[in-house]
A and B are shown apart, each in its own frame.
Chain A
Amino acid sequence: MSETTWVNPDLGKTPAELFAERNQRVLDAFAMRVPDRIPINLGLSYLAAEMGGVSHAELYRDTALQARLVVDAAKRFGPDNTLGPWHDPRPSQAVGDRMTKWPGVQLPDDSSFQFNEHEFMKAEDYPAFLEDTSDWTVRTYLPRAFAELEGLALLPPLGMSAFGYYNLFNSPVLLAPPVQKAFEAINKAAVAQTAWIGEQMALNTMLIEQAGVPPIAWLAALIEAPFDFMSDTLRGMRGIFLDLRQRPAELLKAQEKVLKFQVDFAKATCAALGIPYAFIPLHRGSDGFMSIEQFEKFYWPGLESMMLQLVDAGITPVVYYEGIWDQRLEYLARLPKGKTIGYFQSSDMKRVKETAGTAMCIAGGMSNSLLRSGSASAIREATHEACEVLGKGGGYVMNTGVMELEGCDPDLVQVWCDATKEYGVYR
């Protein structure tokens, strides 16, 4: 079909009709069925700000404006799934979070959110972590990781709570000013997070009712591969890789701990919300960080066990395979068919389709740099090829590798979305 005769198939439909069609399209792809056409997922956060002529910081500061801009962008592009700003700086500010940096807070207004790793857990903390993870976390980790929570270090060992009546003798410590300050900060963070969730619910309702665009459903229970959990917020990359060489047994034991409580958390959260998805973004298991032998010993068993336990509980793990996974795709291909979903950043998508794509719905395939500075014809060509090759037989969601459209040219994003609707039709 030529560009001149192509008519957007979404034209003339009500938001309710569009929502129903788009939602079904995504569900079909997720289940590895063949939808009517390839669904598109758009990460509309910073791009929405850029299209609206406001800074990234302003997008966080004014959530009513944020909702309007995200809905406007969703109306324009007509994706089948979308993700607005998925987080907010206020809870982090409330507790003096030392591991995140935000536009308009620690960073210039038009910068991007960044996670700033630290070695909050030292190598010598392993015995305490393994002996009583909760106690170590509350009394040692939180005071290190959050400036406003330093007072928690004054608490008596948490196990003393099991002393029942007799532990009431210890309760005055809770009135110590640093402890009170910490409790107030936690309360403030919880209030801010709750308010934000309310604002996101309002944004989601607007997306559905005004734009007919389903918000992504899978961010409810956020968990990590056990190795990444130990790395990202505890040991940092330098620490975890030294542990891999110097403390392998302790690292594996720690992973067992964090695997168990994360799976428990995901099951409880999914049950409470009635949403059967858990989101698992992966960080250190991709090609290049560790050898296949190390991956087989330290990374994959914990992640695989996590996924299989979730699947057994009726939960679909939605996994973001960050980086390149080309040397590890056969592991993914062995996962139970249709029970997990894989979003891919920079892997060879043709190989992903041939291997992992036999076991799961795959998402990805469009390069951010093309949408930033490519030509319309190159984008149409790349989209056409992705639809033909990656979309073959269903089980595919069109997406950019990094799930975020920051800095992209809106006109080129439009070309890409339209081309997907044109070339992605299953006949």
Chain B
Amino acid sequence: MSQALIDAIAEMEDEKAVRLAGELLGGGESPLAILDDCKAGMAVVGDRFERGEYFVPELILAGEMLKQISDIVKPHLTQGGDAPKLGKVVLGTVAGDIHDIGKDIVNFMLDVNGFEVHDLGVDVSIDRFVEAVRTERPDVVALSGFLTLSYDAMRDTVAALDQAGVRSGVKIMIGGGTVDDGVRTFAGADAYGLNAMDAVNLAKGWVGAN
């Protein structure tokens, strides 16, 4: 474990972090160990975001560092070795809405908190949500939407999951824009969240990880 690499990621020293990762790899450190350091660094970033010390710029820069280091390290990976996950989440911005900021932050925070996240992207059709729930068998479905128009798409997506017979196997959270408890009731979701920490806490509660 390289505390220097963990610290560089946590302290937003992007150039140093990438350089250290390269040096570690050149010095014979295993690629998996380097990625574990990244994970530890990202966990610190996630903690600081949760505490209100870091904001979106830091999440984006952390993501950028992770991408650059992964690009260096992954060609040298010879084995898989992902740690077991807390649970699986299917995430997406509902049909008709292309906003991705809130969704991406939720993705980041679920990921650093130990969830396996299947991000379906934006303007996700009802059929794609149903298909993803059938194939991925997630614990949680997270529906994002910024537009007021998305209330209807959230409701229709939940209804389609119900009709497909997969609703009872998942918990559904909604979030984004002006979503509130009225929208949750309207959409037939199990819960709504105002921010990414709510999403993490809801998901942890549902998989019994709190």
Contact = CB atoms under 8 A, between A and B. Distances in A.
Interface of A: 101, 107-108, 111-112, 114, 116, 237-238, 241-242, 244-246, 288-291, 294, 345-346, 367-370, 372-374, 401-402, 404, 406-408
Nearest to A284: B56
Interface string B42-66: 0000000000011111101100100
B14 A241 contact: no
Nearest to B64: A242
Interface residues of B, number: 30
Contacts of A288: 55-56, 195
B55 A402 contact: no
B98 interface: yes
A287 to B, nearest CB: 9
Contacts of B56: 237, 241, 288-290
A242 B183 contact: no
Contacts of B182: 367, 369-370, 372-374
B186 A373 contact: yes
Contact of A242 (B60, B96, B99, B180): B60
Nearest to A298: B57
A244 B151 contact: no
B147 interface: yes
Contacts of B180: 367, 369
Interface of B: 12, 14, 53-58, 60-61, 64, 96-99, 101, 147-149, 151-152, 177-180, 182-183, 185-186, 195
27 contacts: A101-B98, A108-B96, A111-B149, A114-B97, A114-B99, A114-B147, A238-B60, A241-B57, A242-B64, A245-B12, A246-B14, A288-B56, A289-B55, A289-B56, A290-B55, A290-B57, A367-B180, A368-B148, A369-B179, A369-B186, A370-B182, A372-B151, A372-B186, A373-B182, A402-B148, A406-B148, A407-B151
Contacts of A367: 178, 180, 182
A137 to B, nearest CB: 25
A181 B134 CA distance: 49
Contacts of A368: 148, 178
A369 B12 CA distance: 39
